[in-house]
Amino acid sequence: MHETTASSPQMLRRMNSGAVLRFALRVAEFTAAEAMAETALTRSTVLGVCDDLVAAGWLEELEDSRAAGLTSKGRPARRYRLRDGAGIVVGLDAGEHRYTAVVADLRGHSLAERSTELDAPSAGGADRLAAASALVESAVAAAGRGRDDILLTVVGVPAPVDADGRSPRGTNDFWATMNPGFPGVLGGAVVVENDANLAAVAEKAHAHDPGDSDVATVLSGERLGAGVILDGRLLRGARGGAGEMRFLDIVEGAGSPAGIGALARLWARAAVEEGSPSALAALAPDEIDAERVFAAAADGDALALDIIARLGARISRVAAVLSSLLDVDKVVIAGAIADAVDPVLAHARAALRDDFSPPVPDVVASTLGRDVVVLGAVELALSRVREEPLAFTPRHAS
């Protein structure tokens, strides 16, 4: 950054402050000389900007290098760091059945996590807003902070979301119920984003090989939905629906966007009801879920193994379509189901190899578990703060 590029002293000062603050957000502590080297600003400018940022509540000045015992000769270096109490971010995974909130400091360290279950069939928009507000309040309190400390909250919802945080109406009220207006109850700066997009953000930040630039991350519990990274950037579309998978309704061998968890449960219950022999028949119908189907398959149960094979064939078609349309190199199966999905993916890889023409994508399980969406929410919140920190107001020291 050069000090002659702005058209007014006020704009110049803001640009210089932003450059120093972005540097402060990346490092544990720094000297004025280090900030000068990073920003190409003069010493007097850096010191003036740091004084401003201290006064604003962003930075704190530490002992100089001589007082800290770091140097003994020459002029002691003035030292600074981001103030621990400058602010926090909140990630909220507002799923259909479960809400999870994570509070993190501006370094990305998790300070607290809280979750709550929802009665999905009966929980309307008002119930969901009340649950979100109470959960965030609880998580922030557990972190030893208050609502005024929140710089930004990012909410992930199972619905397409446009650039203004709104979801289209769709064919029923599901999307509107999932995205009922969180900014109105959470207060402060709030960003609402599609949950699969946040899963893709989390995978890119925490799990991908740095060389992976074309990846589809598929949430696969109750419904399939993809967050797509192409050329290293998140693909959105006009209404935020680029990763919606309703097209699977007309894909032979897929039939619907129902997820792995939902189909494992539904297929097993239907087969048991029809009298198919299985250890699962000893369970009440409402006790048969994906976890028990996967466990039965691990024990060699023929019905469960058949369901695993069918799920693998279906995932191979989903992966092939994503690869054909988007030219992605990798499909990541994410969400809570990812911890147990390896047997399904073994079938999917075999089907891709045997039934489809190359190139075919690599299909892998996420290592981030059920927290993938909330991790993505925190990551997006941190990236927004780091990109434009002066768009936010820090909490002043008391």
Q: 50-78, pLDDT tens digit by residue?
A: 999 999 999 999 987 666 666 656 677 89
Residue 340 maps to a domain: yes
How many CB atoms are closer than 10 A to CB 360? 19
Could you tell me if 238 and 350 lie in one domain?
yes
In this prediction, residue 253 carries a pLDDT of 78
Confidence of residue 4 (pLDDT cuts 50, 70, 90): very low
CB-neighbour burial class of residue 330 (10 A; exposed 0-12, middle 13-18, buried 19+): buried
Number of domains in the chain: 3
Could you tell me if 160 and 216 lie in one domain?
no
Q: 294-325, pLDDT tens digit by residue?
A: 999 999 999 999 999 999 999 999 999 999 99
Has residue 350 got a pLDDT over 50? yes
Residue 190 maps to a domain: yes
Query: Each residue of 97-119: b (16+ CB within 10 Å) or e?
Result: eebbbbbbbbeeeebbbbbeebe
- DSSP for 125-145, please give it: HHHHHHHHHHHHHHHHHHTT-
From CA 321, how far away is CA 324, in angstroms rounded? 5
Q: End-to-end CA distance of the chain, in Å?
A: 33
Residue 68 maps to a domain: yes
Query: Which residues, including other chains, have CB under 8 Å from residue 123's CB and lie 6 or more apart?
Result: 131
Per the DSSP assignment, residues forming a β-bridge with 99 are 94, 116
Q: 167-200, pLDDT tens digit by residue?
A: 988 777 899 999 999 999 997 899 999 999 999 9
CA 391 to chain centre: 21
Confidence of residue 132 (pLDDT cuts 50, 70, 90): very high
Query: Which residues, including other chains, have CB under 8 Å from residue 76's CB and lie 6 or more apart?
Result: 64, 65, 66, 67
3-state secondary structure of 363: strand
- The CATH number of whichever domain residue 228 belongs to comes to 3.30.420.40
Mean pLDDT of the chain: 92
Could you tell me if 240 and 98 lie in one domain?
no
Q: Which domain holds residue 187?
A: 86-201+373-391
For the question of whether the overall pTM of this predicted structure is more than 0.85, the answer is yes
